[in-house]
Structure 1
């Protein structure tokens, strides 16, 4: 469930995405967590929204820079609370 054309390229975009997930703005059900991961097939990094059974609900590709520098934001949540 990852859209190939929808890539998060900046930390600001990652923050906006995390806030949307946190606030329920994407209409996802049973969201329990968010993680940065890599695709097993090609190693491409993505942010994964997981449900209460640790199944992928939504994924968005991220740039290598966001993958390397956004780990704390994903782990601890965005600083801005809109």
Structure 2
């Protein structure tokens, strides 16, 4: 479950989030992957950081536009690196 009401609304925010995950700025020691997903109960879109068991470690809501336009960035990683 995502308890954070912040919504990633542009590609720069998504990129900054991904860079923070990759660089360890979020303090997540068990992050194994990042995916875009849909909440089954209400259909809201989110970016999810998963552990080795595919369990949600951290999530942020994203707009519908970012869900679609940010897929390549999530799949291939951000252009700017840490």
Regarding TM over 0.5, the answer is yes
Structure with bigger strand share is: 1
Write out aligned runs for 1:1-82 (5 A).
1-82=1-82
Contact 1:2 1:58 survives alignment (8 Å): yes
SS of 2:32 mapped into structure 1: strand
Q: State how far apart, in whole Å, the 2-side matches of 1:49 and 1:35 are.
A: 7
Which deviates further from its counterpart, 31-40 or 1-10? 1-10
- How far is 1:4 from its partner? 4.1
CA RMSD in angstroms, aligned pairs only = 1.0
Q: State how far apart, in whole Å, the 1-side matches of 2:66 and 2:11 are.
A: 6
Structure 1, gaps ≥5 residues long: none
Residues 8-57 of structure 1 show CA distances to partners (whole Å, capped at 9, x for unaligned) of 00000000000000001001121100000000001100000001111000
Structure 2, gaps ≥5 residues long: none
**TM-score (ref. length: structure 2):** 0.95
